[in-house]
Structure 1
Amino acid sequence: MTEIDHDKIGLLVGLEIHQQLATGSKLFCRCKPIESDEYPIKFSRKLRITSSELGEFDPSAIFEKSKEKTILYYRNPQSSCLVEQDDEPPHDLELSAKETVLIMAAALKSTIFNEIYVMRKLVIDGSNTSGFQRTMLVSAGGNLEVNGKKIGVQSICLEEDAAKLIQDSKDTREYSLDRLGIPLVEIALEPVAGTPQEVKNIALTLGRMLRATKRVGRGIGSIRQDVNVSIEGGGSVVEVKGVQKLDQLEKVIEYEAKRQHGLKIIAEKLKTIDARISKEHDIKDVSEIFKECKSKVIQKSFAEGSLIKAIKINGFVGMFGYEPYPGIRLGKQLGELVRFFGLGGLFHSDELPNYGIEEKEIQQVKNVLSIGPTDAFIIIAGNERKLDVVIDSIIKRIEDAKKGVPAETRAATMTGDTVFLRPRPGSSRMYPETDIPPIIVTNTEIEQARNKIPRSWEENLMALQKQYDLNQQLSAQIFDSEYLDLFETICKDKRASPNFVASTLSGTITNLERRGMDVSLLKAKDIIESFNLVAEGKIAKESLEMIFESIMSAKAKTISEAIKSNALSTIEDSELDKILDELVKSNLKMIQEQGLRSMGPLMGLAMKTLRGKVDGQKLNQLLEIRIKSKISAK
């Protein structure tokens, strides 16, 4: 991508950190926050929007309702109850969650309120069975020190985590209730001007402070960053949700800065264009034109009973395909919008003929719409009821393009891009919770929280180095990873080398993930079992990467399957001696010519046969003895 000057465009970034708390039970019931394998209870809901106390409807709720999806829920009684099912009132607040959030507020020098009121935050995407999330403002103000600079804290809230999305299809959305109701702290920082790297450092510092409490969840999904991004004169603030990793955070901010600046440039060009759309004259049903069309997308739409409509946009020629930055164009923004209504996408005149749509069909559309040399058009398919709603949204989005960046919520992708999710919510999404009385925070509780402020990240790092004899780099890697608790669990019985455990957890697994493998498939119990097998001498240390790779690539579901598929069982010493003797014998000429320099090539040949079956250090020693013996004999 083309480089961009963040200071020149006036980039502002506000971070919101959402961190699960390790309380042992959920926020308003005593269910254990565990991940289930089976879901004996299943039910469905159709969520409807409700107005606020002032009779207003939230724009994001209206948008979600327009998708008309059925929500399917999966529940296991081991991890959720009737509270999560919204068939029973909430129980009392989980007290350790209250204590933890007070400690975090005290650590950030935030002003804690003596009365906390639980509010309902309207959520109608199905992630909450009730249609709202319970949240409470615990404190305001304070600061986080990052490299000698103080970053302001806006607010600290305690709230329920949402249900876990399993699948999202055209007409249904599926969730499990394992995660719903887990205590979550939300820390919102004041917007800062800086580079994506500087914002990443802020998130890293805050994450370290939270982990230092030893009261937070670990693992994928336990911490998420939402980012509020804006540029000077660009229009509105955009909220990006669901950033789970720091490297991803940096890429998301970089992409969003370019996207917003690109939209600002597009808006400046549109100021000279009178882009009018008449619903009466500029929208036509063109289904008959495309009956024999070779486009697979359009023929699939016909098979589903869809209509094809075309929209004329006056004076808009070239504007859908115009790219101020690579990949940043208005046509792509409209495509994202349409897909979130459950439609496959749209075609615009700047990209046609293409995708099976030929010149003859384009000419017929131009005739029907009376397209002039400076006009553009859009083709879109869908069922008639939904299509009218989508077309209204397209028209609004084109009108918003004249203003620059529209106020919207976007989702972060794993590649670091962002995609449209829904319009930004308004103030009408929040209203009081009627089932829970105000929660009192005494001055004694506040004082106790101040006395329990955790030691700094640097102090924790020193303790980790000393306890496990790790170097500074490895200590930092394991502390900053999702695996610190798992590391300490594995090292408890003292059979495994802490250095080997730490480098495997923070290095090997991370490298496999960077290669595109799914780390969520690798469970903590699988990792513990693998290290136990190494300690018992049943598999070699070198086999762990192969085992983890098999599971993370979905080639095996269990450790035993991975061992079997890779033939990783250790071999007897007698068989090993036989293999090495044969290897040396067949490469005697190389040993005589290169001496000890032949160790590298021969070790490589040996590993092709013995990788994962023999400890690498042992193999190296045995091979070196044989090579030296042949050199001496010569």
Structure 2
Amino acid sequence: MTDHDYDELGLVAGLEIHQQLDTDTKLFCSCPTDLREADASTRQFTRYLHPTKSELGEIDEAALEESQVEREFTYLGYDTTCLVEEDDEPPHRLDQEARTVVLEIAQLLDMEPVDVAHVMRKLVVDGSNTSGFQRSTLVATDGEIQTDEGPVRVADLMLEEESAQRIEETEAGVTYSLDRLGIPLVEIGTKPDISSPEQARDAAERIGMLLRSTGHVKRGLGTIRQDVNISIADGARVEVKGVQSLDDIDDIVRNEVGRQVALLDIAAELEERGASVGEVQDVTGVFEDTDSGVVRGALEDGGAVYAVPLYGFDGLVGREIQPDRRLGTELSDHAKRHGAGGIFHTDELPAYGVTEAEVEAMCEAVGAGEEDAVAMVAAEAGVAEPAVEAAAARAETAMDGVPEETRGANEDGTTRYLRPLPGAARMYPETDVPPVELDPSEVAVPELLTEKVERYQDEYDLDAGLAEQVAYGTHMPLFESVVADGVDATLAAGTLESTLTELRRDDVPVADLTDEHLRDALRLVDDGEVPNEGLPELLTALAVNPELTAEEAVEQEDLGGVDESEVREAVVEVVERNADQVAEQGMGAFSALMGECMGALRGKADGDVVSDTLREEIQKRA
């Protein structure tokens, strides 16, 4: 991966962090915020969405392009799905718990809350919201975080409703699950103060730590998403959506800078060549007898082949602009938006069963010469022509340099075209939800995770590594709760961060353990009703049978502790059974017999008690 002089290129970047809040109910209704599998849905319904004009009489460009691809949206409902989620009832008032958490976040970001929060509608017609818009509320402005390369200002903090979860996409449309729709979501937008890939990652990590410090944000894949706005001096602002992992942010920035540099080089070369884009033409006749499986399949289904000459583009359509992505890939991204599988172009042909003779005939048909390129699409009727027209439009912008657009993050750190950048025409006031006065004085500033690590070491005598694991782990709120109730901190920390990890590695379904399971199991051990050694077996029983209470699992597995006389009886039996080994090895037999004793007691006795008793019995016979 090529690294650039980012100062010289004039790199500026900003972040938009989207984090789901862990509240009991959704933002505008009382439905739960838990997610379920799609096969648990109990009903479904369909919708078609179209853009509307804002109060200024304008239609947002991104929404307009989205609507040009007609699709049916199917929504999966559940036994808790309500009329608000289906957009058949007005939204309720802004959730109080979400308001409290977002004000905590505002204080951690050193932001100034607004006096009154007004709910706005943000036009979205990709089907991810049943209403055709997302409700969003400005909560605070003018904050700042610190990074190793200097401060990064935070422009705004928004409280929003999460979109529906995309389950499946086909040529006909998209299926969404309503479980996720309406979960409270905060959006944190920074100023464009970031000047390097490393600073982008540092800033995202800092914001993530502050969010987790509240103890009220959801954890796991998909609960936090990072969007990155990136531009260089001679390029354009590009918004990269959906960066799932912090580890990808610096690669995304590097690759986008490299893409813009490459596009500027291509634009300069196209200008030097006097390049232009010709007219889209039907070239189906060229491929009547083709052996290309893709082309023949389209024609046999009643489709067509359309092509466009790209004058002066020879060798540039196939030029790499990101790792394993070329200018032709950009053209293909636009064609795919209209239902095509992609494009073929002459920088890569003959290939895919398309012969040299067919390439020559196609070039002749559209009037392309040796210095030119041709892009073609073979697809069903009604798809091929608009798909090639979209590719041609993208080729036009290639002559100008870098287009402003919204792009999606790929798993390999590259990006793909999604849609134009949205404009101000997509926002207008929400008339169904009254404004809310905000009072930050009622909200305490949460303790930072970094401060928790230090406190856990000082107050609970945890070592640095375990203290950090607990503070940054998903069970941090539960740890604090059980310790406050009197459970030994070392027991709680070791169980939540070590024992659960070991059980997970042994394929125990620990994800099915509830906080109540864990809390009650820890209490039973801390009270001496279950020995430490019996805790893994108790948690396993609860994970396999989550309908049980901890007390029921203890009885079912016979995990209740034994008294000292029963311990000694079991130890004496093991020692006498191995009398020859004890006589020969003395205390050297301890390790082997200890395991046998623990097995005989089946985790019902504390290991220290068993160890002390075994030592005594061996010494008697040594």
Given residue 89 of structure 1, which amino acid in structure 2 is its aligned partner? P
Q: Evaluate the alpha carbon distance shift between residue 296 and residue 289 of structure 1 in structure 2; reply closer, same or farther with a 3 A threshold.
A: same
CA drift at 1:88:
0.3
Unmatched runs of 5 consecutive residues or more in structure 1: 513-518, 549-555, 559-572, 578-613, 619-634
**What is residue 393 of structure 1 aligned with on the other side?**
390
1:461-509 deviation digits (Å, cap 9, x = unpaired): 2234457754323433454455545777999987977346425778998
CA drift at 1:185:
1.1
Matches within 5 A, 1:73-84: 73-78=75-80, 80-84=81-85
CA drift at 1:539:
6.7
Distance in 1 of aligned mates of 2:25 and 2:434: 20
Are 2:283 and 2:306, in contact at CA under 8 Å, matched by a contact in 1? yes
**What is residue 502 of structure 1 aligned with on the other side?**
497
Given residue 328 of structure 2, which amino acid in structure 1 is its aligned partner? G
Q: Evaluate the alpha carbon distance shift between residue 486 and residue 254 of structure 1 in structure 2; reply closer, same or farther with a 3 A threshold.
A: farther
**What is residue 52 of structure 1 aligned with on the other side?**
54
CA drift at 1:356:
1.4
1:153-194 deviation digits (Å, cap 9, x = unpaired): 111111111111111222211110111111111111111233
Distance in 2 of aligned mates of 1:96 and 1:538: 35
Unmatched runs of 5 consecutive residues or more in structure 2: 522-529, 547-569, 575-602, 608-622
Given residue 247 of structure 2, which amino acid in structure 1 is its aligned partner? D
CA drift at 1:432:
1.2
Given residue 83 of structure 2, which amino acid in structure 1 is its aligned partner? L
CA drift at 1:125:
0.7
**What is residue 318 of structure 1 aligned with on the other side?**
315
Matched, 1:43 2:45: yes
Q: Evaluate the alpha carbon distance shift between residue 22 and residue 43 of structure 1 in structure 2; reply closer, same or farther with a 3 A threshold.
A: same
Are 2:166 and 2:176, in contact at CA under 8 Å, matched by a contact in 1? yes
**What is residue 230 of structure 2 aligned with on the other side?**
229
Are 1:242 and 1:411, in contact at CA under 8 Å, matched by a contact in 2? yes
Distance in 1 of aligned mates of 2:241 and 2:502: 27
Distance in 2 of aligned mates of 1:457 and 1:290: 64
Q: Evaluate the alpha carbon distance shift between residue 538 and residue 218 of structure 1 in structure 2; reply closer, same or farther with a 3 A threshold.
A: closer
Matched, 1:446 2:440: yes
Q: Evaluate the alpha carbon distance shift between residue 295 and residue 196 of structure 1 in structure 2; reply closer, same or farther with a 3 A threshold.
A: same
Given residue 17 of structure 1, which amino acid in structure 2 is its aligned partner? I
Distance in 1 of aligned mates of 2:431 and 2:498: 50
Distance in 1 of aligned mates of 2:20 and 2:323: 37
Structure 2 counterpart SS, 1:91: coil
CA drift at 1:385:
2.8
Structure 2 counterpart SS, 1:192: coil
Q: Evaluate the alpha carbon distance shift between residue 402 and residue 460 of structure 1 in structure 2; reply closer, same or farther with a 3 A threshold.
A: same
Structure 1 counterpart SS, 2:347: helix
Q: Evaluate the alpha carbon distance shift between residue 312 and residue 487 of structure 1 in structure 2; reply closer, same or farther with a 3 A threshold.
A: farther
Are 1:154 and 1:190, in contact at CA under 8 Å, matched by a contact in 2? yes
**What is residue 3 of structure 2 aligned with on the other side?**
3
Distance in 2 of aligned mates of 1:417 and 1:506: 33
Are 2:331 and 2:392, in contact at CA under 8 Å, matched by a contact in 1? no
**What is residue 472 of structure 1 aligned with on the other side?**
464
Q: Evaluate the alpha carbon distance shift between residue 117 and residue 315 of structure 1 in structure 2; reply closer, same or farther with a 3 A threshold.
A: same
Given residue 383 of structure 1, which amino acid in structure 2 is its aligned partner? E
Matches within 5 A, 1:400-549: 400-441=397-438, 445-449=439-443, 452-465=444-457, 470-482=462-474, 484=476, 498-499=493-494, 501-502=496-497, 524-525=511-512, 536=534
Give the TM-score of the pair, scaled to structure 1.
0.77
20-29 vs 410-419, greater mean Cα deviation: 410-419
Distance in 1 of aligned mates of 2:100 and 2:346: 59
1:504-552 deviation digits (Å, cap 9, x = unpaired): 778998x99xxxxxx9x988316989998997578799x99xxx9xxxx
Distance in 1 of aligned mates of 2:57 and 2:492: 63
Are 2:270 and 2:312, in contact at CA under 8 Å, matched by a contact in 1? no
Given residue 382 of structure 2, which amino acid in structure 1 is its aligned partner? R
**What is residue 24 of structure 1 aligned with on the other side?**
24
CA drift at 1:29:
0.7
Q: Evaluate the alpha carbon distance shift between residue 476 and residue 52 of structure 1 in structure 2; reply closer, same or farther with a 3 A threshold.
A: same
Q: Evaluate the alpha carbon distance shift between residue 471 and residue 440 of structure 1 in structure 2; reply closer, same or farther with a 3 A threshold.
A: same
1:550-588 deviation digits (Å, cap 9, x = unpaired): xxxxxx9x9xxxxxxxxxxxxxx9xxx9xxxxxxxxxxx
**What is residue 169 of structure 2 aligned with on the other side?**
168
Identity percentage of aligned residues: 38
Distance in 2 of aligned mates of 1:523 and 1:416: 32
Distance in 1 of aligned mates of 2:273 and 2:473: 51
Structure 1 counterpart SS, 2:305: strand
**CA RMSD of superposed structures (Å):** 4.1
Q: Evaluate the alpha carbon distance shift between residue 488 and residue 255 of structure 1 in structure 2; reply closer, same or farther with a 3 A threshold.
A: farther
1:272-314 deviation digits (Å, cap 9, x = unpaired): 13332343xxx22122322332333223323443211111111
Are 2:321 and 2:327, in contact at CA under 8 Å, matched by a contact in 1? no
**What is residue 212 of structure 2 aligned with on the other side?**
211
CA drift at 1:403:
2.1
Given residue 3 of structure 1, which amino acid in structure 2 is its aligned partner? D
CA drift at 1:353:
0.8
**What is residue 372 of structure 1 aligned with on the other side?**
369
Are 1:486 and 1:524, in contact at CA under 8 Å, matched by a contact in 2? no
Distance in 1 of aligned mates of 2:2 and 2:423: 34
Q: Evaluate the alpha carbon distance shift between residue 437 and residue 527 of structure 1 in structure 2; reply closer, same or farther with a 3 A threshold.
A: closer
Distance in 1 of aligned mates of 2:205 and 2:254: 17
Distance in 1 of aligned mates of 2:325 and 2:203: 28
Are 2:18 and 2:224, in contact at CA under 8 Å, matched by a contact in 1? yes
Q: Evaluate the alpha carbon distance shift between residue 355 and residue 159 of structure 1 in structure 2; reply closer, same or farther with a 3 A threshold.
A: same
Are 1:136 and 1:157, in contact at CA under 8 Å, matched by a contact in 2? yes
Given residue 524 of structure 1, which amino acid in structure 2 is its aligned partner? A
Give the TM-score of the pair, scaled to structure 2.
0.78
CA drift at 1:453:
1.0
Matched, 1:71 2:73: yes
Q: Evaluate the alpha carbon distance shift between residue 437 and residue 90 of structure 1 in structure 2; reply closer, same or farther with a 3 A threshold.
A: same
CA drift at 1:103:
2.3
Distance in 1 of aligned mates of 2:330 and 2:518: 46
Distance in 2 of aligned mates of 1:195 and 1:208: 20
Q: Evaluate the alpha carbon distance shift between residue 249 and residue 471 of structure 1 in structure 2; reply closer, same or farther with a 3 A threshold.
A: farther
Q: Evaluate the alpha carbon distance shift between residue 487 and residue 361 of structure 1 in structure 2; reply closer, same or farther with a 3 A threshold.
A: farther
Given residue 6 of structure 1, which amino acid in structure 2 is its aligned partner? Y
Q: Evaluate the alpha carbon distance shift between residue 306 and residue 481 of structure 1 in structure 2; reply closer, same or farther with a 3 A threshold.
A: farther
Distance in 2 of aligned mates of 1:136 and 1:262: 39
Distance in 1 of aligned mates of 2:295 and 2:215: 55
Matched, 1:182 2:169: no
Structure 2 counterpart SS, 1:403: coil
Given residue 222 of structure 1, which amino acid in structure 2 is its aligned partner? T
Q: Evaluate the alpha carbon distance shift between residue 481 and residue 243 of structure 1 in structure 2; reply closer, same or farther with a 3 A threshold.
A: farther
Matches within 5 A, 1:94-105: 94-105=95-106
Q: Evaluate the alpha carbon distance shift between residue 422 and residue 334 of structure 1 in structure 2; reply closer, same or farther with a 3 A threshold.
A: same
Are 2:336 and 2:387, in contact at CA under 8 Å, matched by a contact in 1? no
**What is residue 251 of structure 2 aligned with on the other side?**
251
Given residue 237 of structure 1, which amino acid in structure 2 is its aligned partner? R
Distance in 2 of aligned mates of 1:264 and 1:481: 44
Structure 1 counterpart SS, 2:176: strand
Distance in 2 of aligned mates of 1:507 and 1:245: 25
Q: Evaluate the alpha carbon distance shift between residue 477 and residue 420 of structure 1 in structure 2; reply closer, same or farther with a 3 A threshold.
A: farther
Given residue 440 of structure 2, which amino acid in structure 1 is its aligned partner? I
Distance in 1 of aligned mates of 2:283 and 2:518: 61
Given residue 525 of structure 1, which amino acid in structure 2 is its aligned partner? D
Given residue 194 of structure 2, which amino acid in structure 1 is its aligned partner? A
Max Rg structure: 2
CA drift at 1:434:
1.6
CA drift at 1:126:
0.5
Distance in 1 of aligned mates of 2:329 and 2:465: 42
